[in-house]
Amino acid sequence: MPGFPGFDPLDPLANKSRTKGFSVGLVSLQGDKYSMRFSGLGGAVDLTAGEHMAVAEAAGALSNMGVYALREDKVTSIPISDAVASDEVHGDPTIVLTMHFENNDGDKMSVDIPAPDATLFETDGVSLKPRTDATVGTIIGDFIDAAELAINSTWLPNNSFSFTRGVRRVRNIKLAQGSNVKPGVQEGAVPLEGPAT
């Protein structure tokens, strides 16, 4: 048998082009799905599933949608049972919290968190509260820390990305299409809910 050039059955990913990104799947109470993507990561270091899951959990705490899956590009898909979502203001995934990051070279990255909880924003309804805020600062800081770790552990050539600002935006998006089987979604009892553990 000729086999596959460069294919090692003991390491099927060897010599294969791999994107070192990952995505977090979120779902609304109505069953709308959204994929929050960390892409373009340079591939210097493979993050552990736990480090990816920390990003997923932190994103879930900021969103009215529930986290139902973590996908590591071309490697694994980790389902999360019983996503917890809430039907509140900004429950629509077309409303996003855009988190901006920038490094010392001026490279920029941004990540959209769908259906952000309304309590995350200043009175203007657009600007994200600081991580020092007494009410929601801790969960904002948890996401910033997890995201910076994910970006800086994998980005080449510069590992100096830091959070610069967060703003509420409206996006014209095409919702992620999945199978006809929708993940189980429970309504959250409090405004800020992360994925079920």
Tokens of 52: 């990816």
For 129-142, write each residue's pLDDT tens digit: 999 999 999 999 99
79 to each of 25, 36, 166, 168, 184, how far by Cα in Å? Answer: 9, 15, 28, 28, 11
Stretches where the chain sits below pLDDT 70 are 1-20, 40-47, 74-75, 89-91, 154-158, 173-197
Q: Is the separation of the CB atoms in 26 and 63 below 8 Å? A: yes
Please tell me the distance from the alpha carbon of residue 149 to that of residue 163, in angstroms, as a whole number: 11
> Comparing C-alpha atoms, which of 114, 96, 107, 89 is closest to residue 34?
114
With contact defined as beta carbons under 8 Å apart, do 150 and 49 qualify?
no
Task: Please give the model's pTM, rounded to 2 decimal places.
Answer: 0.76
